[in-house]
Amino acid sequence: MRVLTNKPGIELAKEIVRVEKKKEELIKQSKLNFKVYTKRKKGIVVRSVCCVCECEVETEKYNSLEIAQYKAASLTLGGKRVNEFDVCERCLSEC
């Protein structure tokens, strides 16, 4: 019997496993580029902070801390960082 293999598919699956392991490593070692925490049983990823008062300007909410950590790990692997150049409404109104 001849076995057919799908080499591109196998390579893609290996790459997916490698990326998932890298995400788990980043989470375990706390090497995420984003602050991640729990609030009211939801996972929160801080995407942007005020450059004046350092409050959270933009956050993303997820159904669990684990999902938020994986999102932050994906962003970190993609080279993304927290935007530290926003200004919050309060600081903007005081200018």
Distance CA 53, CA 2 (A): 66
Burial of residue 91 (CB within 10 Å: 0-12, 13-18, 19+) is middle
Q: How far is CA 20 from the centre of its chain?
A: 13
- Per residue in 24-45, pLDDT tens? 999 999 999 999 999 999 999 9
Write out the residue range of the structural domain in which residue 22 sits: 7-88
48 located within any domain:
yes
1 located within any domain:
no
Whole-model pTM? 0.82
78 located within any domain:
yes
Count of beta carbons in the 10 Å neighbourhood of residue 57: 21
Q: What is the mean pLDDT of residues 58-79?
A: 97
11 located within any domain:
yes
Q: 63: Cβ–Cβ under 8 A, 6 or more apart, which residues?
A: 42, 43
93 located within any domain:
no
18 located within any domain:
yes
**For the chain, what is the domain count?**
1
2 located within any domain:
no
